Amino acid sequence: MVALSPDEWAIAPAPAVGDTYLTCALAEAFLARRGGSRVRVVVPKRFWSLLSIFPDARIAPLDPDELAVPLADPPGTSPDVPFHVHPMKLADRFGSVYAGRTIPFTRPYHDMFGLPFPSFARPRVPGSVRDAAAERFRALGLPPGRTVILVPIGHSLATFSVPFWVDLASRLIAKGLTVVTNVASHERERCIPGTGPLSCPVGELIPIAELAGTVVASRSGVCDLLSSARIDLRILYHRPQYEWAPVPGVRLLWDLGECGLPDRATYYRMGGSEGIGAFAERIVAGPP
């Protein structure tokens, strides 16, 4: 078990790519406002590499199993009181605060940290991480600038069926592109048939995506992570309801720019009368 130093914060996001990324991106502003020596980000080890893309922030990982004291509700009262940052665990509280309003889904994170919106720091991928990503890309035999990474899984918003992704992949391959599916190493069975699996530490996703050139993703935490990447990012929303409304009476905004993140993405919202094939072809055609 690990005991925290008196001036050390411990913050536990939900164990997901997007929540971990948002916590790391807000840690620097949080320390500037609240003081303390550093932030221990309490996440499973599979997310630890994500911390490496914020080398200027005073953050370090901490395995949840090594935390010596229970997590409190935010906001933390003092540096040695660890707390969790997971808006949906406090949905009732947020329902009363934001009732009748339209807000970015990232707004509650800022409010839990006590920060003005937006306060995100931009990631800076170290050279060593870029070198490792480039070697991985070469080892997979992927063509730079001619590879499409599919991200079909989204844990918050509705996603498309496997047959849709198979059809989309076949259309991309027919254009001479190489198509891979972003999957965790322990979830290779989720690889879209007809594509190759791409498994890498989450900290390498930005440089690997920049080498690939194009990412087609369901709106998910991976989109938050890739928001600053110089890529052709195509974000898909499902029909007929692309908004997730976990708190009654609160409408959430999901586009990257609305969430206070860099936004170079192209968004594809399926029309109510649009056929699935026509929608796929529109995605394949790319930005106008």
Q: Is the pLDDT of residue 139 over 50?
A: yes
CA nearest to 286, candidates 265, 271, 270, 272: 265
Task: Identify the pLDDT of residue 50.
Answer: 98
Average pLDDT score over the chain? 90
> Could you tell me the two tokens for 93?
């509280």
Helices then strands, counting H and E runs in the chain, come out as 8, 12
Edge-to-edge strand ranges of the sheet holding 59-62: 59-62, 38-42, 8-13, 83-85
Q: Which residue has the higher pLDDT, 93 or 73?
A: 73
Domains of the chain and CATH, by start: 8-113 (no CATH), 127-285 (3.40.50.2000)
Find all residues with CB under 8 Å of 189, minimum gap 6, and list them: none
Read off the pTM.
Answer: 0.94
> Could you tell me the two tokens for 113?
């940290």
> Could you tell me the two tokens for 69?
């004291």
Q: What is the pLDDT of residues 161-178, one digit of tens each?
A: 899 999 999 999 999 999
Q: Is the pLDDT of residue 28 over 70?
A: yes
Q: What is the pLDDT of residues 149-159, one digit of tens each?
A: 999 986 666 67
